[in-house]
Structure 1
Amino acid sequence: MSPLFLSQSFRALWQPRRGLAIAEASVIGLVAALSAVFFKFGTGWLGTWRVHTSYLFPAWVVLPLIGLSFGFLAGLLVERLAPEASGGGIPQVKASLGNVPVTLSWRVAAVKLLSSIMTLGSGLTLGRQGPTVHVGAALAAGMSRWVPTSPDHRRQMIAAGAGAGLAAAFNAPIAGMIFVVEELLQDLSGLTLGTAIIASFIGGVVSRLLGGNSLQLDLAATHYSSTFSILEIPFYLILGVLAGLLAALFNRGLIASLAIYRNLHISLPLRVALAGFISGVVIALLPASFRNNTGLREFIITGEVHASIAAIAFVAQFILTLVAFGSGAPGGLFAPSLILGSCLGYIIGVFQLYTLGQGSPTTYALAGMGAFFSGVSKVPITAIVIVFEMTTDFNLVLPLMIGSVTSYLVAEKIVPGSLYDKLLQLSGIIIKKQAPIEEVLTKLTAKDVMQRRVDTLEAEMSLDEAVEAFSRSHHRGFPIVEDGRLVGIVTQSDLLKIRDRNFGKDASLKEIMTSNPLTVSPIHNLSDVLYLLDRYQISRLPVVEGRRLIGIITRADIIRAEADHINCENREQGPRPEPSYVVYQTRSPSVGRGRLLVPIANPETAATLLEMAAAIARDRHYEIECIQVMPISRHSSPTETPVRTTKSRRLLRLAEALGKKWKIPVHTQIRVTHDVAQAILETIKERHIDLILMGWKGNTSTPGRIFGNVVDTIIRQATCDVMLVKLGAMDGLTDLTETSSDISVAKSALTPQFNRWLVPMAGGPNAWVALKLLPALVTLGNDPKVRLTRVFKPSEIEPDMTVLEEAIRQLIRRRKLGSTVFASPVKSDSVSEGLINLVKKEHYDVVVLGASREGMLQQAITGNIPEAIASGVDSTVILVRGAIGS
């Protein structure tokens, strides 16, 4: 049995079916529960050690020192290994579920877990529930990468992991499921609900069995019994109003705290260390019972404390949570919200007891937990269910509902919107509810996705010229214009009329074209366009205003729009990256006729790419612009993030050395950015680049992409010529070494081979652009031989050699091309298979391909020919796309 068959069988077995989703959700629930239990015992052990140490030594020394040291270590761990692990974690999960490219992985989960144990165990007044949600979602995301699933399936698994994390942290499986539906996904579909329920149930049960039940309130030991009467309703309403007001103030304080820390312009480790130090100092001044954050809520609820103690606890917890959270320390807001709510509720309960002479402050404390939590997180149903599952007291449901709903309405009136959405907005991320594909087809119009650059033919063009235009193009049809107005359309099937009819020598295209073709207006939605394409079995439709042709829309354009929607690549949604920031640059004399940009990312291929760039620059008298792009987290600003540029500068100095060797001006720069492709596009615009030469791995696994995220963006949007290079198997690399006096450049005996060149020519416009680069590139070889070829069907008796003959004439005119050039067609039913077999049979070193934007979109449907060739051969593959209008 072949490995290919086994691989295909495995992938088919693991396709996202309902049964597999349930099994996957079960595993996610188990893993999330184990991580939550580890989290609970880790923070418990470290917290116990901290409290015990504070009794052995002076608390005013021990507590600030522990907060300072462990806070610094936690911040350092996050900054160095996973910046995405900072903060509470729920905003990151919500962003990922909104298809924003926020990293969720095993590494993020591990860093979040360890750093949160340090921060919480060292005394920062944050909770472990938010981080547990983040860890559960990150573990689920890591597991989902093992299975080839759809984006929607992956989102459901991440949501299930988040719900399982919350369920395991609170031992509240129903609350975990409801939180997923109410806050994270806002989706009640059967599969989403089912996977969330299963993962949350398993997470809660396993956590409780393994000893993670510290959040269960032991109210029986206090002889507590809930009480409620109609006379108490006004007091619960007062509790809800106060909780809503203070929750709104709390949310604004969190935002203000983040802004204050950001204005300090200090690193994350120092911010967390400062928060830990302040927390230690304040807690050392408070009564000893305040040193145990985990037991403080139970102390307020179950202990016979004075109202003044509850008031002090509320103020201290309020301020210290703002101090801790604003630093970016890994820790959540759920536990602090519950403590604040219990203190507030207890105070109202004592007031009610003195007023009516009946009632229980503990009942008000429990209702206050749900009310304050509801006002902060804006999830009233989750708040009610969490407290109910913690107490299992049905008599508490009505007080919880009154307080939580009132608090939610008051807080929403004062500070509208989700706190998590506001935290994401501070990082430039705006999440909008993603519409289904059907809604995308009705909302997007032809103007939104049409191609504005349209190849057209003139109505008076002769038939011979029309046939030549078709032979040199990949288009199956051309709009016919006359004085800028659309008068018809001609397709390949129309060319058959030339054979069937006896046209004269003066016959023009007007005689075979289809007059009054079917068109759409710019405001037609994609659903209407798709209907017309299906109804009349055509592949493209001209877009006209009146009779003026303004664009053309194809099936491929609609597929691209849907793929971008699935991957959330609508530029109006998602993160808004800041402009890139130049942290290093050098300049040479500007004496060239143009500029060639070389992004350097891989040190192993940089030398060869620079050699190719130098060959082109010498031939065209260009300057070379070398750029190193350093991506950073979207949570950091490019202008404020410190980076190390030592390795990058070393590569750029080697580029300068190559420029000195060939006497070519070389400019260099290092940019810090959120988006690599965007930084390259900014450089193209700022430096007036004529040609970009960049490496290409030859394939991509990204859904909806053809060449990969960065390369696809450059291909579609770069206004200059684009040259992609996938280097083949190399026996050695160009050896560029530094000496103490200067940088010398030496070429090893073993280098990539550039002697045997294969150039397929189908007549497309970019094939001719590639042809113009060939004389410069062949100088990289010692004795280069160039074969021009064209793939034709075996059924064709005599292939058309017109394009190949014209290409040879153009190459021979170039005096610098001393290589042997010949043309020879090849028979094959498949273009990619025919070329791959030819390369392997005759051992070609380099394959040069031309491709256009529309051609690549068509290849997304029929098969990506350049990617198929690049993946199928070990040779170097060069793909060229000519400049497009801005």
Structure 2
Amino acid sequence: MFVKGKIFWLRLSRQLLRPKRLAFVEACLIGLVSGLAAVLLGQAVDWAGALRVHISYRWPAYLVLPGIGLVGGILAGWLVERFAPEASGSGMSEVKAVLARVPMPLNLRIALVKLVSATLVLGSGMPLGREGPTVQIGAALANQLSNWAPTSPEHRRQLIAAGAGAGLAAAFNAPIAGVLFVVEELLQDVSGITLGTAILASFIASVISRLYGTHSLDLNLNLAVTHTTFFAQEIPFYLILGVLAGLLGILFNKSVLASLALNRRLLSLSLPRRIGIVGLVSGGVIALLPVAFRNNAGLREILLTGDADWLFAAIAFLVQFTLIILTYGSGAPGGLLVPTLGLGAALGYLVGATEHSLLGMSAATTYAHVGMAAFFSAVSKVPITAVVIVFEMTTDFNLVLPLMIVSVVAYLVAEKIDHRSLYDLLLEWKGIHITKEPSTEGLLAQLSAADVMQARVETLSSQMSIDEAVKAFSDSHHRNFPVLEKGRVVGIVTQKDLVSIAAQHLDTDTAISQIMTPEPVTVSPTATLAYVLQLLNRYNLSCLPVTEGRKLVGIITRSDIIRVEAERLSGNTQQVEPKSAPSYVIYQTRAPATGKGRLLVPLSHPQTAQTLLDMAVAIAKARNYEIECLQVIIVPPNRVPSETPVQISKSLQLLQRAVLLGEDWRIPVHTQIRVAHNVAGAILETVKDRHIDLVLMGWKGTTLTPGKVFSRVVDTVIRQAACDVVLAKLDEKRAFDRWLLPMAGGPNSSQAIQLLPALASLSKSPQIKLCQVFQPNESIPDTGLLENSVNFLQRRVKGNVMATPVHANSVAEAVLDCAKQNNSDVIILGASRESLLQQVIQGNIPENIYRKSNCTVIMVRSATA
């Protein structure tokens, strides 16, 4: 009952924790937290700002404003310098660096320090914005969440981007702009999950901001509705506004860098002193100006509602431009996007006032609205976001065309002078250069588990005892074993499970099903490595079984992924890059699956097809395998397989014979016809695509290809197939009564012995002779291997089994003599990938036996050899 309950909760948790479902849940949480943080920052800044203005009315402004600026700057600087130096500045460039995979801190500590220090700076009257802090706070909170719930690097990156978008959306109350800013400037990724999480987080953050915020940046809520128009005659003035915004935007960016350099080189002061001095100067300047300058949001409203004149706008632009540059250069925590909106409004008002005096068409306030987008676009190099953000704040459709004109013109002018955005320049000033190179996650998203998994897996049976499992662990270097029951994955046992045996007071005779982890996390062969890595991180695993349904087809470990990483970094990606499929499946049939394994039979010659199918049926019956029959149709290299018309009538007749044979023996038979440039490639693709466990091939016995051992097809399959291979050279008699098995030890001989009972069933009364060749000087040979093999076969073969030790100098000649004396029908050999080929090339055992014998020769190559 306990195990069933555990399985239920495991299944439920995995359903809820599926990547996309979890991503959207996390996006909702990120949007909620980011929105609340933005509301808290906005209300704190508005409360502090209102208190500062109120005090300046009651006491002398020339004392109050500089004093508040000095105290607020010192406190904010001390907080940042003492607890989180990374919280200085806007924070937008740091978030962009993290999203570009630059290792920089971004956590809850930075978010809290940024929240408090930005409140002190903005509340004391310094002319910076709160959008930079809200973006960094949102990204930091999202990153902290991904650390609490471990995930893949790419998924973590998307969550950070969603947090940044939510922060910007909450600051401007513009959810669409928040998403676009993520896509256009920060992440530059339009994948489904990125857009989904960013949209959801930005929407929720905007809702929170609208419900509980102050709407200080929502022009549609705070300003009186003004009548905006657009006439064709105004286009030249909008073009002029775009050009001016582009030029002044570049000047603004260069001035920010110059201010930072000045503070670094000439002012050897601590951060609290630098910000305090800037706060003092800023307060002093504002105290000398009209009362409207004491509230930065109110100053922008005056420009946008038409309550100003051209002189007021000019003074506002010059004063704000200078103070923003000085304040940001000191390292004060605050954003630059909102200030650029104010500068753009002042610049647009000046151009609008000029147009109104000459043509009298549109009010200067229309140009003030449009100027915000122009300056924003020039500074940040995000024309689409600039258009949308002003439109979302005004919801005025009459502004769309002017916004598009000025934003694009400003962007093109600024791009012509310097293609880098303000945040790129800030990163380069810090020595961080972001280049758009292929990412590791990009490579991991292209590769699948089947590309790098280990096809041969050490497993345990669910019926094994704990004592047997401990022995298996001691005999292997692996730390995890999938547990199979009737060929299907039912659990996994790790070293940690063995350690917990004593605590559970279990006997060593207890079945491992009592200690294994049931329903283990698995992946399909088509899963991307990025998804595999995400699962490994989320569940803190070192490996994952790869399954097709419930059938185990391989295992993938962290080491496999690290190997791919290492090969990519070393520039050797030939072995890991996905290969294009040269063959094309034009026909296939499927039968019910057993889930125990698959045996592939490439059929080419009708003369040998029936014998190969009989052998395949014998093996499939013994192992409960499915049979996969393959017909390959070759086309010229200059023809595309998928586009070349071919005749398949003869191939269908051959495959139909296999299907009927399978029906007679109640064995599932799958069939397929592939069009390819070469047979070997088609066979290897089928082995990979269909997760073949054993390939049974026929060979005619000769080759005319220079340098080839058997033939180009056979050599390639023997070397590269990641499964067992059985190669049969059939004689004309096709008899299977008398068998000769030369013994040499090793995995291939063992594999041949394991296969022999199935093949021997082709005869009603098989006679099997095992021989082992010893050197003449071995007077007392060790026949232990022979005896064990005889005992094994006698229990499994209904026939006569005997063993003979032979003394000879030539192993090949001794085997051939034994075959001749025994009148053998079949010789079955074991051979490995490399040693076999090398031996044959040098004229050793397999070649002599394979070529000189007059009977059928079956060669077995184990995948583990």
**TM-score scaled by length of structure 2:** 0.51
Provide, for residues 11-48 of structure 1, a one-character-per-residue CA deviation record: whole Å limited to 9, x for no partner.
85675510110111011111111111111100001111
**What residue is the counterpart of 2:187 in the other structure?**
185
Quote the Cα distance in structure 1 between the aligned partners of 2:562 and 2:255.
43
**What residue is the counterpart of 1:256 in the other structure?**
258
Q: CA deviation at 1:562?
A: 4.3
**What residue is the counterpart of 1:156 in the other structure?**
158
Find out whether 1:311 has 2:338 as its counterpart: no
**What residue is the counterpart of 2:378 in the other structure?**
375
Provide, for residues 235-287 of structure 1, a one-character-per-residue CA deviation record: whole Å limited to 9, x for no partner.
00000000000010000000000000111122111111111111111111111
Q: CA deviation at 1:441?
A: 9.4
Find out whether 1:358 has 2:361 as its counterpart: yes
Quote the Cα distance in structure 2 between the aligned partners of 1:8 and 1:83.
43
**What residue is the counterpart of 1:86 in the other structure?**
88
Provide, for residues 601-647 of structure 1, a one-character-per-residue CA deviation record: whole Å limited to 9, x for no partner.
xxxxxxxxxxxxxxxxxxxxxxxxxxxxxxxxxxxxxxxxxxxxxxx
Q: CA deviation at 1:367?
A: 0.4
Preserved contact between residue 11 and residue 148 of structure 1 (Cα < 8 Å): no
1:165-180 paired onto structure 2 within 5 Å: 165-180=167-182
Find out whether 1:429 has 2:432 as its counterpart: yes
Preserved contact between residue 14 and residue 147 of structure 1 (Cα < 8 Å): no
**What residue is the counterpart of 1:699 in the other structure?**
none
Amino acid at match of 1:334: L
Q: CA deviation at 1:148?
A: 2.0
Provide, for residues 146-190 of structure 1, a one-character-per-residue CA deviation record: whole Å limited to 9, x for no partner.
212101111111100111111111110000010000001100101
Please point out which of 319, 322, 325 is paired with 2:325. 322
SS in 1 for 2:219: coil
Find out whether 1:33 has 2:41 as its counterpart: no
Instruction: Call closer, same or farther: CA 1:68–1:231 in 2, change over 3 Å.
Output: same
Bigger mean CA offset, 221-230 vs 151-160: 221-230
Provide, for residues 578-610 of structure 1, a one-character-per-residue CA deviation record: whole Å limited to 9, x for no partner.
xxxxxxxxxxxxxxxxxxxxxxxxxxxxxxxxx
Quote the Cα distance in structure 2 between the aligned partners of 1:179 and 1:283.
32
Please point out which of 418, 421, 424 is paired with 2:421. 418
Instruction: Call closer, same or farther: CA 1:145–1:123 in 2, change over 3 Å.
Output: same
Instruction: Call closer, same or farther: CA 1:23–1:287 in 2, change over 3 Å.
Output: same
Unaligned runs of 5+ in 1: 444-473, 475-526, 528-554, 571-886
Quote the Cα distance in structure 2 between the aligned partners of 1:79 and 1:46.
22
**Over alpha carbons, which structure has the higher Rg?**
2
Quote the Cα distance in structure 2 between the aligned partners of 1:120 and 1:312.
21
Quote the Cα distance in structure 2 between the aligned partners of 1:203 and 1:395.
27
Preserved contact between residue 77 and residue 271 of structure 2 (Cα < 8 Å): yes
Preserved contact between residue 34 and residue 206 of structure 1 (Cα < 8 Å): yes
Find out whether 1:49 has 2:51 as its counterpart: yes
Quote the Cα distance in structure 2 between the aligned partners of 1:391 and 1:195.
26
Instruction: Call closer, same or farther: CA 1:221–1:136 in 2, change over 3 Å.
Output: closer
Preserved contact between residue 440 and residue 562 of structure 1 (Cα < 8 Å): no
Preserved contact between residue 346 and residue 361 of structure 1 (Cα < 8 Å): yes
Quote the Cα distance in structure 2 between the aligned partners of 1:442 and 1:161.
23
**What residue is the counterpart of 1:348 in the other structure?**
351
Preserved contact between residue 383 and residue 407 of structure 2 (Cα < 8 Å): yes
Q: CA deviation at 1:424?
A: 1.1
Quote the Cα distance in structure 2 between the aligned partners of 1:220 and 1:305.
17
Preserved contact between residue 236 and residue 402 of structure 1 (Cα < 8 Å): yes
Q: CA deviation at 1:123?
A: 0.9
Quote the Cα distance in structure 2 between the aligned partners of 1:6 and 1:279.
64
Q: CA deviation at 1:437?
A: 4.4
1:688-837 paired onto structure 2 within 5 Å: none
Quote the Cα distance in structure 2 between the aligned partners of 1:429 and 1:164.
25
**What residue is the counterpart of 2:236 in the other structure?**
234
Amino acid at match of 1:122: S
Q: CA deviation at 1:296?
A: 1.1
Preserved contact between residue 250 and residue 376 of structure 1 (Cα < 8 Å): yes
Preserved contact between residue 68 and residue 124 of structure 2 (Cα < 8 Å): yes
Quote the Cα distance in structure 2 between the aligned partners of 1:5 and 1:38.
43
Q: CA deviation at 1:297?
A: 0.7
Q: CA deviation at 1:62?
A: 1.0
Preserved contact between residue 219 and residue 302 of structure 1 (Cα < 8 Å): no
Q: Cα RMSD between the aligned structures? A: 3.1
Provide, for residues 109-149 of structure 1, a one-character-per-residue CA deviation record: whole Å limited to 9, x for no partner.
11101100000000111000111111111111111112121
SS in 2 for 1:430: coil
Q: CA deviation at 1:4?
A: 10
Unaligned runs of 5+ in 2: 447-476, 478-528, 530-556, 572-865
Amino acid at match of 2:251: L
Q: Percent identity?
A: 57
Amino acid at match of 1:389: E
Please point out which of 146, 149, 152 is paired with 1:147. 149
Instruction: Call closer, same or farther: CA 1:408–1:420 in 2, change over 3 Å.
Output: same
Quote the Cα distance in structure 2 between the aligned partners of 1:437 and 1:258.
34
Preserved contact between residue 108 and residue 135 of structure 1 (Cα < 8 Å): yes
**What residue is the counterpart of 1:583 in the other structure?**
none
Q: CA deviation at 1:64?
A: 1.0
Quote the Cα distance in structure 2 between the aligned partners of 1:297 and 1:87.
22
Q: CA deviation at 1:101?
A: 1.3
**What residue is the counterpart of 1:707 in the other structure?**
none
Quote the Cα distance in structure 1 between the aligned partners of 2:328 and 2:567.
34
Quote the Cα distance in structure 1 between the aligned partners of 2:121 and 2:217.
19
Preserved contact between residue 15 and residue 149 of structure 1 (Cα < 8 Å): no
Provide, for residues 696-738 of structure 1, a one-character-per-residue CA deviation record: whole Å limited to 9, x for no partner.
xxxxxxxxxxxxxxxxxxxxxxxxxxxxxxxxxxxxxxxxxxx
**What residue is the counterpart of 2:807 in the other structure?**
none
Please point out which of 275, 278, 282 is paired with 1:275. 278
